[in-house]
């Protein structure tokens, strides 16, 4: 046990031996805990133990210090202000989840911070909350609401409980990914499930209860490993499964293989990512990591395949997804990024290096397009990237812009300039117009 004594001294108490002794400044075992010297700004303003081996220190200069005693790690993270101006001995660290914490200010308000436990880097949200009030203490209750004790009284965070609801639709199956795609048609929600047993789950949106579970060709097969769901023809869903393309009648619940009803190019066997109908009457599809993309003309029911051998040729093989941009063009992503020019009918752009610290990591995990002429994407462990199409320019966003992590998992479509981002244990609302994010929910993002 370490004990801070008086203004500057440090002592160690050995619980087993019941031995108490002063810690000399030169002791290397406790160097990270010793108060900074006068030349370094003087004693810690405040300090906090956040688990049994990790600590956060508030010095009197421009950085926060993260120490992991078990891993022998000490990381200083630059703040957008001088800590001595914003914090004092009254400032305390309040953990909100495993990577988010708050610190109340020296005079008024409080700040939010994101800790990347892998690197030890701390990012500060630049906004000061409750900046007109003196905050004496902060507390988070079991419902994840923040309470603030102020000189004007006790404040409780008001959470808009009606904005987001969590539903648990349990299915007795074998699945490691859960629900992966869906469509709402009338009062029914059709959810594709990446499962070996139940590929399609139908929900009544009035009661939010499961009404049907569809087991394509029985259980224990790849036809139930659904990856995408679309509707191209009236009353009929198309589903991209691990074994191939399925159709499903939403009224009779009859189903079958699309290849048994119409001609399907042989390249289109295996896992497919289906996209909505584009404004030109084509729906695009991707053979996930299978080296082809296809476009399907809805009115004629004809397919056109693009591979490395076709003319025009697909510029790269490891394809995973497709988005439609604001200018009417098609972007294919995966282990590169390529554009299909819809006016010239060929692939006119190939991008293999992006931006950010991991710009050479070519694996694009998720991608979305906005209505203003940008693509938004995440390549592995590289935060959020914006590609401004007309300017041919990447812009990088990270924890300094409100993201809880540089590792992201999924994107929503961008609606009214808002992109919702799923990461490990967080849901973040990112404003693509104002270019800032806010962690909306922490602690319960799990697949079922």
**Which pTM does this prediction carry?**
0.68
> Could you tell me if residue 330 is inside a domain?
no
Which two tokens mark 301?
A: 């029911």
Determine the average pLDDT of the residues in 349-371: 96
Task: Say if residues 380 and 374 touch (Cβ distance below 8 Å).
Answer: no
Q: Is residue 355 domain-resident?
A: no
CATH number at 59 reads: 2.130.10.10
Does the residue 442 lie in any domain?
A: no
- What is the C-alpha to C-alpha distance for residues 81 and 7, in angstroms, rounded to an integer? 25
- The span from the CA of 325 to the CA of 275, in Å, is 13
Among 213, 230, 262, which residue terminates a domain?
262
Q: Is residue 217 part of a domain?
A: yes
Distance CA 135, CA 129 (A): 10
* Same-domain pairing of 206 and 140: no
Q: What is the pLDDT of residue 445?
A: 43
Instruction: Report the mean per-residue pLDDT for the chain.
Output: 90
> What does each C-alpha distance from 205 to 24, 190, 202, 210, 294 come to in angstroms?
67, 10, 9, 9, 33
Do 191 and 226 belong to one domain? yes
Tokens 């004092």, residue? Answer: 88
The whole-number average pLDDT for the span 53-60 is 90
**Number of other CB atoms surrounding residue 255 within 10 Å:** 18
Contact 60, 104 (CB under 8 A): no
Q: pLDDT at position 160, please?
A: 56
Instruction: Confirm whether 114 is domain-assigned.
Output: yes
Q: How confident is the model at residue 400 (pLDDT cuts 50, 70, 90)?
A: confident
Residue 31's pLDDT is 72
Task: Please give the order of strands across the beta sheet that includes 54-58.
Answer: 46-49, 54-58, 63-68, 73-78
Same domain, 134 and 198: no
Looking at residue 428, what is its pLDDT? 92
Q: Report the half-sphere exposure of 326 (CA within 13 A, side-chain side).
A: 15
Same domain flag for 147 and 107: yes
Q: What is the average per-residue pLDDT within 162-179?
A: 81
Last residue of some domain: 212, 237, 262? 262
CATH classification of the domain holding 173: 2.40.10.480
Same domain, 196 and 245: yes
The verdict on residue 127 lying in a domain is: yes
Count of residues in the chain: 448
**Which of these, 397, 399, 404, 358, lies nearest to 380 by C-alpha position?**
358
Same domain membership, residue 138 and residue 48: yes
30 DSSP 8-state letter? G
Q: Are 342 and 329 in contact (CB under 8 A)?
A: yes
pLDDT at 202: 97
Worst-scoring range by mean pLDDT, 12-26, 305-319, 363-377, 383-397?
A: 12-26
Residue 223 lies in a domain: yes
Per cent of the chain over pLDDT 90 is 65
Which band of pLDDT confidence, cut at 50, 70 and 90, is reported for residue 26? low
Q: What is the pLDDT of residues 59-110, one digit of tens each?
A: 888 889 999 988 889 999 998 888 888 999 899 999 988 888 999 999 999 9
Q: Are residues 133 and 208 in the same domain?
A: no
Whole-angstrom Cα distance, residue 235 to residue 251?
Answer: 7
DSSP 169: -
**What's the mean pLDDT in 304-310?**
95
Domain identity same for 199 and 172: yes
The whole-angstrom distance between residue 304's C-alpha and the CA centroid of its chain comes to 34
Same domain? For 136 and 247 the reply is no
Whole-number Å distance between alpha carbons of 266 and 313: 17
Name the token pair of 170: 């349990």
Residue 372 has pLDDT above 50, yes or no: yes
86 and 56 share one domain: yes
Average pLDDT over residues 213-236: 95
Q: Are residues 147 and 223 in the same domain?
A: no
The pLDDT of residue 163: 64
Q: Around Cβ 348, how many Cβ atoms within 10 Å?
A: 14
Higher-confidence position of 423 and 442: 423
- CA-to-CA dists, residue 309 to 304, 306, 317, 330, angstroms: 13, 8, 11, 20
In this predicted structure, what is the pLDDT of residue 447? 38
Write out the two tokens for 444: 């319960």
Q: How confident is the model at residue 443 (pLDDT cuts 50, 70, 90)?
A: low
Do 150 and 177 fall within a single domain? no
Asked which of 130, 156, 182 is the last residue of a domain, the reply is 156
Residue 401 lies in a domain: no
Give me the number of domains the chain comprises: 2
SS3 (DSSP) at 268: helix
Give dist(CA 345, CA 328) in Å, integer.
12
DSSP single-letter state for residue 311: S
Domain containing residue 199 = 161-262
Does residue 444 carry a pLDDT above 50?
Answer: no
Task: For residue 376, give Cα distances in angstroms to 277, 323, 337, 387.
Answer: 21, 10, 12, 6
**Residue 63 CB-density burial (10 A; 0-12 exposed, 13-18 middle, 19+ buried):** middle
């Amino acid at each position: 046990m370490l004990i801070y004594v008086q203004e500057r001294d440090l002592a160690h108490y050995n619980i087993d031996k019941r031995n108490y002794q002063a810690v000399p400044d030169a002791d290397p075992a406790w160097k990270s805990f010793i108060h900074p010297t006068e030349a370094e700004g003087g004693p810690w303003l405040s300090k906090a133990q956040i688990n049994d081996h990790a600590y956060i220190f508030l010095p009197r200069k421009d950085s926060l210090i993260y120490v992991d005693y078990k891993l022998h790690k000490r990381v200083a993270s630059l703040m957008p202000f001088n800590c001595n101006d914003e914090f004092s001995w009254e400032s305390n660290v309040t953990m909100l989840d495993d990577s988010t914490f708050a610190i109340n200010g020296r005079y008024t308000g409080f700040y939010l911070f994101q800790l990347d436990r892998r690197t030890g880097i701390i990012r500060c949200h630049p906004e000061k909350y409750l900046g007109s009030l003196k905050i004496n203490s902060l507390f988070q209750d079991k419902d994840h609401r923040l309470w603030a004790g102020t000189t004007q009284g006790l404040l409780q965070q008001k959470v808009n409980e009606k904005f987001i609801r969590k539903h648990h639709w349990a299915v007795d199956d074998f699945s490691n990914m859960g629900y992966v795609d869906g469509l709402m048609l009338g009062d029914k929600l059709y959810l594709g499930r990446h499962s070996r047993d139940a590929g399609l789950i139908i929900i009544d949106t009035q009661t939010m209860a499961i009404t049907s579970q569809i087991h394509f060709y029985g259980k224990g097969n790849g036809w139930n490993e659904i990856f995408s769901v679309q509707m191209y023809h009236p009353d009929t869903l198309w589903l991209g499964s691990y074994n191939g393309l399925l159709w499903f009648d939403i009224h009779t619940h009859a189903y079958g293989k699309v290849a048994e009803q119409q001609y399907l190019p042989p390249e289109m066997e295996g896992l497919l990512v289906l996209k909505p109908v584009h404004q030109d009457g084509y729906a695009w599809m991707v053979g996930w990591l299978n080296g082809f993309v296809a476009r399907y003309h809805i009115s004629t029911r004809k397919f056109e395949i693009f591979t490395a051998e076709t003319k025009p040729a697909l510029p790269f093989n490891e394809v995973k997804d497709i988005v439609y941009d604001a200018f009417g063009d098609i972007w294919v992503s995966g282990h590169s990024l390529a554009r299909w020019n819809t006016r010239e009918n060929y692939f006119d752009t190939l991008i293999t290096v992006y931006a950010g610290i991991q710009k050479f990591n070519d694996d694009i995990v998720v991608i979305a397009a906005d209505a203003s002429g940008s693509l938004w994407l995440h390549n592995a462990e590289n935060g959020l990237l914006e590609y401004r199409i007309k300017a041919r320019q990447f812009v990088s966003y990270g924890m300094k812009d409100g993201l809880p992590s540089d590792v992201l998992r999924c994107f929503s479509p961008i609606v009214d300039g808002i992109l919702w981002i799923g990461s490990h244990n967080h849901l973040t609302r990112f404003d693509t117009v104002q270019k800032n994010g806010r962690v909306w929910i922490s602690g319960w993002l799990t697949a079922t």
